[in-house]
Every structure is written in structure tokens, then in C-alpha cells.
Amino acid sequence: MPIYEYKCENCNHAFEKLVFMGNDEHIECPKCGDIKVKKLVSSTCHINSLGGGDCAPSPSRGFS
């Protein structure tokens, strides 16, 4: 299950939240309760559209 990073646009509180598949539309800020939160791209392993990334892709993950 992925853990996404969010940032509240109301109070700028950043937080992480465990999100189940397809259940990321009702995220609210745990600090102020505002639902205007912005999903951030995880900084742990980000591969962009140009083929670059912050980490090397795994050669084998068992679902090829």
C-alpha cells in the first residue's frame, strides 16, 4: 500500500498518509481539517517522464 505525502494548502501542514487504492479523494488535513490538500510526489523514488529518476529501477521485481 502506498504512502503518499500531502500538503495542506490552507495551513501548509505537510503530512504522510497511507492511501488505499482509489481512496485518495477524501484526504483531509489532520491539523485543520481542510480538504484542500495537495498530493506531493514521493521523494524516495521518483522516475520522471524523460526516463531519469532519483533511483535506479529494479532489474527484476518478480512480475515481468
Residues 6+ apart with CB under 8 A from 18: 1, 2, 3
Amino acid, single-letter form, for residue 27 = I
Helix (DSSP H) and strand (DSSP E) numbers for the chain? 0, 3
Verify binding: residue 13, Zn ion, rule CB under 5 A: yes
Verify binding: residue 29, Zn ion, rule CB under 5 A: yes
Question: Pick from 2, 3, 16, 31: which binds Zn ion (CB under 5 A)?
Answer: 31
Minimum CB separation of residue 6 from Zn ion in Å reads 10
Binding region for Zn ion (CB under 5 A): 8, 10-11, 13, 29, 31-32, 34
